[in-house]
């Protein structure tokens, strides 16, 4: 049977958060579009990313709060014994309702415009989908997302899990070792620990994307007090148990002692890699980073091949559906109106890890601030606030930290790293203030509601202003 030959004006490869938005925006411009995806249908964020992890964390936080009622002076007549056997099935029920919207949209696309399979570029204007379809196009958007990385050593273990498989388990494992200090590893590790699963998260001192040593130190202390977080360890051996179900893990800890753990399950969550295998991108001139991500203009999403655009996790490791959606919109619009291009609306970047306490980066992290100072000769000051003051204790969640980085020239906050209770709310408020170009002078005078988590921004602004005036 010969190849079916199709043609379109805009080809979208990938039907995740970025791809769907790209398709919608290209169609809105009146373009003839085809969308290609390998499946399964439904975005990664909904199947095995932000949504299921947040639902698991919600369940874990609820149980953890009940187990710690004594801290509020509430004593139950007996210790609560929780049955968590239905947690994953409950999560999947909520997930199914969310993914139904995506599936409904996809099935409204005519079958002739919705092709299933792996797209391989033959030349810059033509792809072959598996061995059944050939599509010629004028412009294209690549939004194939990313997949969990399994290292060579981990791949030798039987039945090792990634987040793709974990959320399909019938019930929670009794014990689990999670490898990685990525966003998903930290969130999943804490959620499972709160659900009374024996957890060991093996990570590096550089948790997630934090670069400020002060914030990293606090993050290690607070997260380690909530769940078993092992940093700077060296795995000496990891193998399948012969006589029983599970895995034997031998490791050297940060004090140079050898340890042994038996775990029922192992989850690989070190990193994610872009889904570009088999696409022949270098062959058609698309440039890649050393980690395999597609290099593009972050404002227009245009790749090194001018009529091809890229959006979402295939371009970077942000792993945020909000970013993927905004990039997909711009990529779809520019693919439809090429060669006329528009820039993505400017917005202060916010990245959040929804642990307890939350981790957040607003604007630039400390490493990026140092590079900024070298390139612009605009020096900056670091203002540190420890969340130990009396009104913070009123929230019953003290011990966090916020470091803000303020330009000496403009008095504008250019970045911040945060580890704090309600750190997500602090980060969002700070991002809005930065977006509005509020100086530390203005933020120090702003009236914050008593006992609000956001009030620490005022304290940090006052500390910045004190340093600036002193300087």
What is the model's pLDDT at position 102? 77
Let me know whether 227 and 317 are in one domain: no
Q: How many CB atoms lie within 10 A of CB 138?
A: 16
Which residues make Cβ contacts (< 8 Å) with residue 95, sequence separation at least 6?
Answer: 46, 47, 51, 52, 55, 167
Q: Is residue 199 part of a domain?
A: yes
> Is residue 333 domain-shared with residue 381, that is, in the same domain?
no
Residue with tokens 């630039």: 364
| Tens digit of each residue's pLDDT (9 = 90 or more) over 16-25 | 889 999 999 9
Q: Does a structural domain hold residue 210? A: yes
Same domain, 231 and 281: no
In which element (H, E) is residue 104 found? helix 87-108
Q: Which candidate, 193, 215, 153, places its Cα nearest to that of 57? A: 193
pLDDT of residue 214: 95
Residues 125 and 30 in one domain: yes
- CATH code, 308: 3.50.50.60
Phi–psi pair at 369, nearest 5 degrees: -65, -40
- State whether 367 and 466 are in the same domain: yes
324 neighbors 332 (Cβ within 8 angstroms): no
Distance CA 81, CA 85 (A): 12
Question: For the chain, what is the domain count?
Answer: 3
pLDDT at 396: 59
Q: Does one domain contain both 310 and 175? A: no
Task: Write down the pLDDT at residue 343.
Answer: 94
- Position 278 scores a pLDDT of 93
| pLDDT given at position 452 | 84
> Which residue range(s) make up the domain with 174?
152-272
Among positive and negative, which fits the CA dihedral 383, 384, 388, 391?
Answer: positive
pLDDT < 50: residue spans in the chain = none
Q: Are residues 297 and 308 in the same domain?
A: yes
What share of the chain in percent tops pLDDT 90? 66
Angle (CA) 312-318-320 rounded to 5° is 70
Give the tokens for residue 262: 């038996």
| Residues 390, 451 within the same domain | yes
pLDDT of res. 394: 54
| 237 and 361 co-located in one domain | no
CB 22 within 8 A of CB 12: yes
Q: Which of 337, 358, 374 is the last residue of a domain?
A: 337
């Amino acid at each position: 049977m010969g190849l079916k030959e199709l043609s379109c004006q805009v080809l979208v490869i990938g039907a995740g958060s970025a791809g769907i938005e790209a398709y919608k925006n290209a169609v809105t411009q009146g373009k003839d579009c085809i969308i290609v995806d390998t499946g399964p249908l439904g975005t990664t964020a909904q199947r095995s990313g932000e949504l299921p992890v947040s639902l698991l964390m919600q369940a874990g936080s609820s149980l953890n709060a009940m187990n710690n009622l004594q801290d509020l002076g509430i004593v139950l007549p007996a210790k609560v014994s929780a049955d968590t056997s239905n947690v994953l099935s409950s999560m999947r029920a909520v997930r199914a309702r969310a993914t139904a919207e995506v599936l409904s949209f996809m099935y409204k696309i005519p079958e002739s415009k919705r092709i299933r399979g792996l797209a391989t570029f033959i030349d810059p204007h033509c792809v072959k989908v598996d061995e059944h379809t050939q599509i010629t196009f004028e412009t294209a958007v690549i939004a194939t997302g990313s997949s969990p990385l399994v290292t060579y050593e981990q791949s030798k273990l039987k039945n090792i899990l990634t987040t793709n498989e974990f959320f399909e388990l019938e019930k929670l494992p009794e014990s689990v070792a999670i490898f990685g200090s990525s966003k998903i590893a930290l969130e999943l590790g804490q959620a499972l620990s709160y659900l009374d699963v024996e957890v060991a998260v093996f990570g590096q001192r550089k948790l997630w994307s934090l670069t400020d040593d002060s914030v990293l130190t606090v993050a290690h202390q607070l997260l380690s007090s909530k769940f078993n977080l092992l940093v700077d360890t060296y795995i000496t051996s990891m193998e399948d148990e012969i006589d029983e179900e599970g895995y034997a893990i031998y490791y050297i800890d940060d004090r140079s002692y050898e340890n042994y753990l038996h775990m029922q399950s192992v989850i690989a969550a070190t990193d994610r890699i872009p889904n570009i295998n088999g696409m022949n991108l270098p062959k058609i001139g698309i440039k890649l980073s050393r980690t395999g991500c597609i290099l593009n203009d972050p404002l227009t999403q245009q790749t090194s091949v001018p009529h091809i655009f890229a959006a979402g996790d295939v371009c970077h490791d942000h792993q945020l559906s909000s970013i993927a959606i905004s990039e997909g919109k711009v990529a779809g619009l520019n693919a439809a109106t090429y060669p006329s291009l528009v820039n993505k609306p400017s917005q202060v970047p916010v990245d959040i890890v929804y642990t307890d306490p939350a981790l957040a980066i607003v604007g630039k992290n400390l490493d990026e601030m140092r590079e900024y100072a070298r390139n612009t000769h605009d020096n900056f000051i670091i203002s540190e606030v420890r969340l130990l003051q009396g009104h913070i204790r009123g929230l019953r969640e003290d011990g966090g930290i916020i470091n803000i980085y303020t330009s000496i020239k403009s008095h504008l906050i250019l970045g911040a790293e945060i580890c704090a209770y309600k750190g997500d709310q602090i980060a969002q408020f700070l991002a809005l203030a930065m977006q509005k170009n509020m100086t530390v002078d203005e933020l120090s005078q702003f009236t914050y509601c008593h006992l609000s988590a956001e009030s620490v921004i005022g304290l940090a602004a006052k500390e910045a202003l004190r340093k600036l005036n002193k300087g």
